[in-house]
Structure 1
């Protein structure tokens, strides 16, 4: 079973009319991002952590540039639309 946070993201994407393929892809990238940062909530992370994750994808996992772009788009969705952090990719202060 997914976490309540992931389920909240899923519901938000469905309300916004995202395709099921995009939903699955974005949720996968958000999960990887969260696990990469040792299960910290994305609100506690910022642009440095996004950069670290994307660098890891490129340098350690050797993913293609289009895959990196998809991961970035998922994180932009996460911060700007789902969490309402409009100054993404700057660090969010609570």
Structure 2
């Protein structure tokens, strides 16, 4: 997560953006049985986005935000 925070701060994003990105990444990790994101491929990301769309009824803008965070 330190690398994520560093990258967001390097891009001069707001603290709320940082917080939101970290939150989505944590949810992604938990959804995938707490595996490190580098161990997962495109299929895991697609599965998580599908879950958000079908089970949590996330909007397309939310899904885009999650994809950017991941």
Gaps of 5+ in 2: none
User: Whose helix fraction is larger, Structure 1's or Structure 2's?
Assistant: 2
Tell me the equivalent position of 1:56. 51
List structure 1 segments (4+ residues) > 3 angstroms apart after TM superposition.
none
TM-score (norm 1): 0.68
Deviation at 1:63, TM superposition (A): 1.1
- SS of equivalent residue, structure 2 residue 58: coil
**RMSD, aligned α-carbons:** 1.2
Structure number with bigger Rg: 1
For the pair 1:19 / 2:14, whether they are aligned, the reply is yes
> How many residue pairs are counted as aligned between the two chains?
70
**Alignment of structure 1 residues 27-42 onto 2, 5 Å:** 27-42=22-37
TM-score (norm 2): 0.88
